[in-house]
Amino acid sequence: MMSDVLILIDVQEAFHDSCWGERYGPHAEQNIERLLNYFRSEHQPINHIKHVSQDPSSLFHREHLQGLIYEPKKMKSSSKKK
């Protein structure tokens, strides 16, 4: 029997940096949070894949820990709406 799986790729705070330019998916976080809540409530598998760079100047390098934070966790503790 097949089951569904939610795969989240590069859902990270670093993508909010202005170097990426204007965002094209203003409701992405809300949609991701809804999907996460659904998959968790159904006890379905969720895979989080994040980008980590070896380049020290990258926002995805370990020295820039804020950029590596998985975004929906922050959204759950925040009441701000975008």
Query: What pLDDT is attached to residue 14?
Result: 76
- pLDDT of 79 above 70: no
The band of 69, judged by pLDDT with boundaries at 50, 70 and 90, is low
What is the rounded distance in angstroms from the CA atom of residue 77 to the CA atom of residue 69?
Answer: 13
What is the rounded distance in angstroms from the CA atom of residue 1 to the CA atom of residue 21?
Answer: 43
Average pLDDT estimate for 73-81? 42
Residue 67 · residue 57 · CB < 8 Å: no
pTM: 0.65
Alpha helices in 13-64 (DSSP H): 28-41
Task: Please tell me which of 13-17, 30-34, 41-45 the model is most confident about, judged by mean pLDDT.
Answer: 41-45
Q: Per-residue pLDDT tens for 43-61? A: 999 998 888 888 888 877 7
